[in-house]
Structure 1
Amino acid sequence: MSAWRRADVDRWLGRALPGRCVFCLAALPGEFPWCEACFAGLPWNVPACPGCGEPQPGGEAGRRCGHCLRRPPAFDRARVPLRYEAEVAGLVQRFKFDASPRAGRLLLDLLSTGLPEDVRAWPEALVPVPLHPRRARERGFDQALWLARRLGRHLGCPLLRAERSRDTPTQRGLDRGKRRTNLRAAFHVPEGLPGRVALVDDVVTTGATLDALSVACRSAGSREVEAWAVARTPLHDR
């Protein structure tokens, strides 16, 4: 289905199915756009490494993964409530590649709901992961900026912009180490960042992009950096 047809279906569903679960179309008694059963059945990223958000086996809850123990990321902790699987993967693809506002709104609601209240109140600023200007022009849509702007308004938190100073080659097919090398010195952040910032992106694969941006944020004055994203790609899917 083409992008404009998907957007057309999104608009039609928004008008024609008020009060229905966005996943199963069951009647909704509450304020959220999903029913309890579908919400519980989403691929929640639990347990996950508290350092990088890597999905963990059941017995590893609360422990940092081997990658974080060997080479801790430049950010202090990751907040990634969902895994990039099933319904969540479909929503991300429609949002990222088709610019579906309905999918984006759902992902934003899921991210906000998946963050505890004290975490939502923690940052002094949000910094979206930037696209290079050429990529932004080609795509016509910057998904991280879209999410961060709306999340910032919801949280009452200011938005600060970083720049992608180097148009890096695609990260697809690269392992963790090569991704880090690919992104070295790729970001510029203006001086004078507040002490606590949260980086915002849609999906985390290896965390290399967030790691590189965290280095730039610390150089610009931040003492603590968290990485926030909607979903994390499980290791076996990379």
Structure 2
Amino acid sequence: MVDGGLRRALPGRCAFCLAPGQGGHPWCESCFESLPWNVPACPGCAEPRPSGTLAGRLCGRCVVTPPRFDKARVPLCYQGEITAMVRRFKFHASPRAGNVLLELLELGLPPKALAWPQALIPVPLHPRRARERGFDQADWLARRLSRRLDIPLVAARRCRDTRSQRGLDRMERRHNLRDGFEVTGRLPGRVALLDDVMTTGATLDALAQACRRAGAEGVEAWAVARTPLL
């Protein structure tokens, strides 16, 4: 009820510049067009590609070491206004920011993609870290998206409290999260994993591995924003 009330009460103004909103959305046309859309991007890991790259072509990393998920869908880059919006949501638990990011995620995913999964799995925080932060951003997004898409929400478990991924390179991130997740019970054939920000994809890759062990045959990685090329 709170989410519905916020959507009805707040879309009159753009969440980015406070100008009048457009078409019932919490953004204006100018801000929407200037957002850092993740196009073109690698279809395998959603890493932003240089302008002019052929659409649908895998990046070199995905060719050499394919991720354990089949496809990554991340409509925005973690830059500019999106960075500020994610931080308000993640570290200050702003429901307005969360609703804006969720709407952008839905709008940025093709209808066929939204209709594809049979279950949605948020990237879990370790219980100790969740208590310290007091807010689980992936779970918040996934609960609302599962209701909107009318698909089950499945909880995964983080097996150990791994060190922060900040400052680690790609290989260190993969090693840090090795066997870091567990999914109990049998999963349906098609599942989508959800996080707020995808950096190198190591976390979603480790969770995808756990989903494969639990019976998932098709796994997609979804996130709101992807970090730019390093």
* Cross-structure match for 1:145: 139
CA contact (8 A) 2:11 2:26 kept: no
Pick one of 20, 24, 38 that aligns with 1:45: 38
The Cα of 1:27 is off from its aligned counterpart by 2.1
Tell me the percent identity.
Answer: 69
Pick one of 48, 54, 61 that aligns with 2:47: 54
Normalising by structure 1, we get a TM-score of: 0.90
* Cross-structure match for 1:8: none
Which stretches of structure 1, 4 residues or longer, exceed 4 Å deviation after superposition?
Answer: 13-18
* Partners of 1:161 and 1:33 in 2: CA distance: 30
Say yes or no: does 1:203 pair with 2:190.
no
* Partners of 2:159 and 2:14 in 1: CA distance: 42
Normalising by structure 2, we get a TM-score of: 0.94
1:222–1:14 Cα change, 3 Å: closer
Instruction: In structure 2, list runs of 5 or more residues that go unmatched.
Output: 1-5
* Cross-structure match for 1:89: 83
Residue 201 of structure 1 aligns to a residue whose secondary structure is: strand
CA contact (8 A) 2:69 2:208 kept: yes
The Cα of 1:17 is off from its aligned counterpart by 6.5
The Cα of 1:26 is off from its aligned counterpart by 2.1
* Partners of 2:58 and 2:11 in 1: CA distance: 42
Kindly provide the amino acid, as one letter, of the partner of residue 74 in structure 2.
Answer: V
Instruction: In structure 1, list runs of 5 or more residues that go unmatched.
Output: 1-12
Relative to structure 2, which stretch is displaced further, 123-132 or 57-66? Answer: 57-66
* Partners of 1:81 and 1:72 in 2: CA distance: 20
* Cross-structure match for 2:212: 218
1:17–1:140 Cα change, 3 Å: closer
Relative to structure 2, which stretch is displaced further, 55-64 or 135-144? Answer: 55-64
* Partners of 2:56 and 2:191 in 1: CA distance: 23
1:102–1:184 Cα change, 3 Å: same
Pick one of 84, 97, 119 that aligns with 1:103: 97
Say yes or no: does 1:162 pair with 2:183.
no
* Cross-structure match for 1:132: 126
Residue 235 of structure 1 aligns to a residue whose secondary structure is: coil
